[in-house]
Amino acid sequence: MALAAPASVSPATTTDPAGSSPRYTSALASLTVLFFMMGFITCLNDILIPYLKAIFQLSYTQANLINLCFFGAYFVMGIPAGKVVQRLGYKGGMLLGFLIAALGCFLFYPAADSRSYALFLGALFVLATGVVLLQVAGNPYVAILGRPESAPARLTLTQAFNSLGTTVAPLLGSALILSHLPDLDTAHSAAAIDVRAVQTPYLAIGGVLLLISVLLAFLKLPRITHAPTQEAPNQRAWHYRHLVLGMVGIFVYVGGEVAIGSHIVSYLHLPDVAGLAPKVAGDKVTYYWGGAMVGRFLGAYLLNKVNPGRLLAFNALGAMALVLLSLSTSGPVAMWSLLAVGLMNSIMFATIFTLAVAGLGRHTEEASGLLNVAIVGGALVPMLFGAVADASSLRLALLLPVLCYAYILWYGLKGHVRTA
């Protein structure tokens, strides 16, 4: 069997709305706003978890219902979102995604007023449904919008702006939300915590999302049509081995990344790690996501020079080493080695995604929906992480992300290779 090039996506024909040669740069530049907002919204969960954990007196497992509802939306809505994008097109899918995400943000206001954890989780699910549509439409659009061989670098570059959002979110979230928390070691009444601290930030985010949707409605983006490909009758996206293995890769990547990011505040609060107060620890989360941002800008250059699969394997090996170093040490070494895992995470999502959709042609939108279903790893792996932490310790729970990165190491070396 012949081996296809591992780093390319399917051929496609791209035209602008006027039918002339497309200007990729302006289209990609406009999409950076989309990726920034997706990162910003997602990373605020890392701030919400310790905040709602204190308000509702939750265990680690119960607090991770936040991740279950948010990332569970990918599992429930991923395939329907793929069908919506097939019907409405990439631009239509993104427009609808912004509107649904805005609605989810606005639902935080009644949830806070009622002090209902169930309503908070419902609002998060609606918000996440909008983000799912944005992911399903945005990721393959960026991957296809240009030369196939540069797809991993292109998606990594736009993901860098996603990381900019995840870098800014902890700073604002800590200042606006965690600053209202009392000392976690001091006895306090949950009723005394000001739940309104989450209302203003999410109302503002919802307003921004509505504004972006209005601007996007007037923006002319190039249209994509896939070139015909030779394939067996009734061939579907999930019949491609490298896609299915890539779904597992996305599952464990997002799961490992979120499991670490969602528990950094609690981990840095441990006396034998840093003993930091919630506000200070929340500020440190910025280094985790900031490392991913720096790595993605650097990766956008390196992926044009280095085999994407090998670079993916190298980063996975580095992540494993850093997590093992953190759980086996204490003090500043334990703190900074875990925060540095963000740098290793940087190119993983974009590289796994582009390797997984390589050569899928007309199945690209369906494949994007399936890959977004796999993002449910961000719900299930942190839940398992929380269960291990409750039963033993946060340190022992860190072995779970190590296993996740071990699979990504294999996928980068062997699993992504597709056959024709």
pLDDT tens digits for range 222-236: 665 555 555 555 566
- Residue 9 placed within a domain: no
- The dihedral sign for the CA sequence 214, 215, 216, 218: positive
- Residue 3 placed within a domain: no
- Residue 275 placed within a domain: yes
- Residue 1 placed within a domain: no
DSSP string for residues in 206-260 = HHHHHHHHHHHHT----EEEEPP----TT--GGG-HHHHHHHHHHHHHHHHHHHH
- Residue 324 placed within a domain: yes
- Residue 5 placed within a domain: no
CA triple 18-20-25, angle to 5 deg: 100
- Residue 20 placed within a domain: yes
Paired residues of 224 in beta bridges: 14
**Residue 194 pLDDT > 70:** no
| 9 confidence band (pLDDT: 50, 70, 90) | very low
DSSP string for residues in 365-407 = HHHHHHHHHGGGHHHHHHHHHHHHHHHS-HHHHTHHHHHHHHH
The percent of residues above 70 in pLDDT, for the chain, comes to 77
Tokens of 256: 């490992």
C-alpha to C-alpha distance for 200 and 202, rounded to whole angstroms: 6
**Residue 8 pLDDT > 70:** no
**Residue-wise pLDDT tens digits, 99-128:** 999 999 899 888 878 878 888 889 889 988
- The gap between the terminal CA atoms of the chain, to the nearest Å, is 6
- The dihedral sign for the CA sequence 125, 252, 178, 132: negative
Question: Residue 139: which of 76, 58, 81 has the closest Cα?
Answer: 81
Q: What is the pLDDT of residue 15?
A: 46
| 400 confidence band (pLDDT: 50, 70, 90) | very high
Question: Residue 288: which of 419, 401, 154, 147 has the closest Cα?
Answer: 401
Indicate the pTM of the whole model: 0.70
**Residue 414 pLDDT > 60:** yes
Paired residues of 223 in beta bridges: 15
Q: What is the pLDDT of residue 16?
A: 43
Q: What is the pLDDT of residue 250?
A: 93
- Residue 4 placed within a domain: no
153-170 mean pLDDT: 74
Helix H or strand E segment including 177:
none
**Residue 180 pLDDT > 70:** no
333-349 mean pLDDT: 91
CATH code where residue 264 lies: 1.20.1250.20
Question: Residue 382: which of 249, 248, 250, 261 has the closest Cα?
Answer: 261
- Provide the residue range defining the domain that includes 52: 15-225+236-415
Residue with the two structure tokens 């779970």: 400
| 213 confidence band (pLDDT: 50, 70, 90) | confident
Q: What is the pLDDT of residue 21?
A: 40
Q: What is the pLDDT of residue 19?
A: 40
Residue with the two structure tokens 């980068």: 412
Tokens of 252: 């464990």
- Number of domains making up the chain: 1
**Residue-wise pLDDT tens digits, 255-300:** 999 899 888 888 888 888 888 877 788 778 778 878 888 888 888 7
Say if residues 354 and 308 touch (Cβ distance below 8 Å): yes
In 281-339, DSSP assigns E strands to none
Question: Residue 325: which of 335, 314, 315 has the closest Cα?
Answer: 335
